[in-house]
Each structure stands twice: as structure tokens, then as C-alpha cells.
Amino acid sequence: MLLLAMTIFQAEEYDFKKARRRKIIVSVVIAVVLVLGILGFIFRNWPEERLVNKFMTALQAKDYKAAYGLWVADKDWQQHPQQHAQYPYQDFIRDWGPGGDWGEIKTFKIEGSEVPKVSYSSGNGVVVMLTINDHKEPAGIWVTKSDHSMTFSPFEVVR
């Protein structure tokens, strides 16, 4: 292998356009990664919030069977109700129907969501906080990330 020494006079001429282009590309890539990271952080619980929105919309429309299917994460729950014996449809109607704690659902607003930082949750669920029928006390719905089933939040929800 033959090595040739190169002097400063033999070096390739510096290309300002090429260097500027590389600087712009690197800057754009860094900016895009930063923006995507920020958006990912802001919308990290968006799927769970969207699911609660669908659930509450079904309750608002008095489509209790569809709402129950979302609650138990099983749209075909009527074909095998025995699989949901822990929280049967009648209990669901008692809690979320017109005679439930919230009454007939007329309005709701999702206030936000949070992953609790306690050992109980171990990062497997999200608490979606919402206001129902303009009640002063907020409601909390726990959405399990793995199967998107819902339950009442085991954590106190405060504003």
C-alpha cells in the first residue's frame, strides 16, 4: 500500500454550499425529532382518552350495550356474558344508566389523563379525568393499556 502525503496546497477546496446544505439538513432533522418527541409526550395517552370519549358518547346516546362493550373491551360480549360475570351488564346499568350516580349523561368533558406514579399501577394503565353533567366533583376512569378495558379509577381524582 502506497501512502502519499498531502500538503495544504493539495487539499480539496472547501465547498461552502455543501457545508451549508449539510448544516441545514442536520438542523431540520434535529428540529423534526424534537417536535415529534414533544408531540409524542403531549399525546401519549391519546388512545385511552379517545376510548373514554367513545364510551361517554355511547352513554350520551343511551347506547348502553355498546358502552358496556367498550367498558369490558369486548364488542361481542352478548355472545358470552358469563365471561364478564365479575361486572355484569345489570351492574353496569345500575352504575351508568339513568338511575346511576351521574344520572342520565347529557354532557361530559375530558379534562386530561395521567399515568399514576405509584407501585399499584406499574405503568399498565391510565386514569382519564372528566367532568360529567357539570358536576363539581370530577370522575376518573381507569383504562388498562394492554386490553383497553375500563373500570372506575382506584385513585382519587382532584382538579
- Could you read off the pLDDT of 126-139 as tens digits, one per residue? 999 999 998 888 99
Give the pLDDT band of residue 13 (cuts 50, 70, 90): confident
Render 129-148 in DSSP notation, one character per residue: EEEETT-SS-EEEEEETTT-
CA 157 to chain centroid: 17
Count CB neighbours of 108 within 10 A: 21
The confidence score (pLDDT) of residue 154 equals 86
Does residue 133 contact residue 106 with C-beta atoms inside 8 Å? yes
Q: Can you give the pTM of this predicted structure?
A: 0.79
Q: How far is CA 111 from CA 49, 131, 157, in A?
A: 9, 7, 11
Indicate the length of the chain as a whole number: 159
Give residue-wise pLDDT tens across range 42-92: 999 999 999 999 999 999 999 999 999 999 999 999 999 899 999 999 999
Q: Which cell numbers hold the place of 114?
A: 395521567
Taking 60 as the threshold, does the pLDDT of residue 122 lie above it?
no
